Copies of this chain bind each other. A is one copy, B any other.
Amino acid sequence: MVTAAVAGGATAPVAAPVHRARRLGIDTGYEAVVYLHRDSAVVHAEGFDSQTRVELRHGGHAILATLGVVSGPLLAPDEAGLSEIAWTRLRAAEGAEITLAHPAPVESLSHVRAKIHGRHLDAAALDAIVADLVSGAYTDIHVASFLTACAADRLNRREMIDLTRAMVAAGEQLSWNAERVFDKHSVGGLPGNRTTPIVVPIAAAAGLLIPKTSSRAITSPAGTADTMAMLAPVELDRGAMRRVVEREGGCIVWGGGAARLSPADDVLIRVERPLDLDSAGQLVASILSKKAAAGATHVLLDIPVGPTAKIRGLDQAGRLEEHLLETGRAVGLEVCPVLTDGTQPVGRGLGPALEARDVLAVLRGEPDGPADLRQRALLLAGRLLELAGTAPAGSGEGLARSILDTGAAWRKFEAICAAQGGLRTPPQARFTRPVLAQRTGRVAEIDNRRLARVAKLAGAPHDPSAGLVLHRPLGSLVEAGEPLFTVHAEAPGMLAYALAYVAAAARIIRVDPA
Contacts and interface: CB of A to CB of B under 8 A. Distances in A.
Contacts of A49: 218-219
A503 B8 CA distance: 10
Nearest to A452: B47
A146 to B, nearest CB: 8
Contact of A6 (B9, B50, B499): B499
Contacts of A149: 148
A276 B51 CA distance: 13
A145 B148 contact: yes
Contacts of A116: 148, 151-152, 277
A185 interface: no
Interface string A1-40: 1011111110011110000000111111100000100000
A139 B149 CA distance: 18
Contacts of A1: 493
A436 B496 contact: no
Contacts of A462: 44, 47
Interface in A432-448: 433-436
A250 interface: no
A459 B148 CA distance: 38
A494 interface: yes
Interface stretch (A66-74, A367-375, A397-405): A66-74
A69 B462 CA distance: 15
Contacts of A72: 23-25
Interface in A175-222: 218-219, 221
Interface centre among A9, A433, A499 (most CB of B within 10 A): A499
B24 A70 contact: yes
Contact of A141 (B12, B26, B46, B141): B141
B274 A497 contact: no
A117 interface: yes
A5 B501 CA distance: 10
Interface string A105-140: 000010001001110000000000000000000011
A94 to B, nearest CB: 11
A275 interface: yes
A433 B71 CA distance: 32
A81 to B, nearest CB: 9
Interface string A59-84: 00000000011111110000000001
B70 A26 contact: yes
Nearest to A481: B8
B148 A496 contact: no
A4 B47 CA distance: 52
Nearest to A102: B453
A461 B490 CA distance: 58
A331 interface: no
B275 A44 contact: no
A53 B275 CA distance: 12
Given A8-B435, A26-B74, 8 more contacts: A1-B493, A4-B500, A7-B502, A12-B495, A44-B463, A117-B152, A144-B145, A145-B148
Interface of A: 1, 3-9, 12-15, 23-29, 35, 44-47, 49-51, 53, 68-74, 84, 109, 113, 116-118, 139-145, 147-149, 151-152, 218-219, 221, 270-271, 273-278, 433-436, 456-457, 459-463, 492-497, 499-500, 502-505
19 contacts: A4-B496, A6-B500, A7-B499, A9-B433, A9-B499, A15-B493, A24-B72, A24-B74, A27-B71, A28-B50, A44-B494, A45-B457, A46-B456, A51-B273, A116-B277, A118-B152, A141-B144, A141-B275, A144-B144
